[in-house]
Amino acid sequence: MSDFDAILFDFDGVLADTEPVHFACWVEALAPLGVPFEWDFFRDHCVGIDDRSMVQLLAARSSPPRDWEGLWACHAGKSALFRRRTLASPPFAPELGGFLKGLHGAYKLAVVTASSRPEIEPLLAAGGLGAYFDALVCGKEAGRHKPAPDPYLHAASLLQAKKPLVVEDSAAGVASGRAAGFEVLAVESAAGMPEAVLRRLSFVDNPEKSASG
């Protein structure tokens, strides 16, 4: 039985399979500016960091290096494209709702993400998932971005949680949760996340007994 009092979920790559959608939207938004962007680079260097840091990274690796604020001009268009696509087809696994419903009540739940609130809230609503979360910490609401501990410390404070479990998929996110002093469960994908969490909570063998305590 687990003695965690809360579960703090990253969003992209943990609750939702959004990284391929983010990447496709970035590629389209950056193309008119003549900035190439490859999946391998995105996956290895851009997942888990905030958008501004990502654009600065892209500007610095351009040959010759580009002014990052020039590239940042495409950010609003990228965000609008992402919103349209994900709202049209919410990127949640079918079993995610049942999984969160099972945890809700037994644990306080929060979403802790570098993505902005206007990106996250409508998506959670579209997926019928918003009611399961007791708090959202989005963007720079807590201060510094991951890998700083600020977002996870703020979420734990909002939930008055003393022993939360952090669920993350990126290096920056794992570092953030650990810097906050919390246990971090690193998952490979949104698809495999529920099973990994349930295994960690020891729900799999006896869910009712575990949930009651």
Residues that bind Mg ion (CB under 5 A): 10, 12-13, 169-170
Burial 176-208 (b: 16+ CB within 10 A, else e): bbbbbebebbebeebeebbebbbebbebeeeee
Backbone φ/ψ region at 191: left (φ over 0), alpha (ψ -120 to 50), beta:
alpha
Strands of the sheet with 183-186, listed across from one edge: 135-138, 108-113, 6-9, 164-168, 183-186
* Complex with Mg ion: residue 50 or 169, whichever CB lies closer: 169
- What minimum distance in Å lies between the beta carbon of 70 and Mg ion? 27
Q: Which residue is nearest to Mg ion (CB)?
A: 13
* Complex with Mg ion: residue 53 or 62, whichever CB lies closer: 53
- What minimum distance in Å lies between the beta carbon of 14 and Mg ion? 5
* Complex with Mg ion: residue 13 or 164, whichever CB lies closer: 13
Nearest to 185 by CA among 160, 210, 167: 167
The sign of the dihedral angle between the CA atoms of 26, 87, 101, 109 is: positive
Q: Give the span between the Cα atoms of 207 and 211, in whole angstroms.
A: 6
- What minimum distance in Å lies between the beta carbon of 36 and Mg ion? 24
Judge whether 113 and 10 are in contact, CB under 8 Å: yes
- What minimum distance in Å lies between the beta carbon of 80 and Mg ion? 21
- What minimum distance in Å lies between the beta carbon of 172 and Mg ion? 8
* Complex with Mg ion: residue 21 or 211, whichever CB lies closer: 21
* Complex with Mg ion: residue 78 or 147, whichever CB lies closer: 147
* Complex with Mg ion: residue 29 or 147, whichever CB lies closer: 147
- What minimum distance in Å lies between the beta carbon of 63 and Mg ion? 29
Judge whether 5 and 107 are in contact, CB under 8 Å: yes
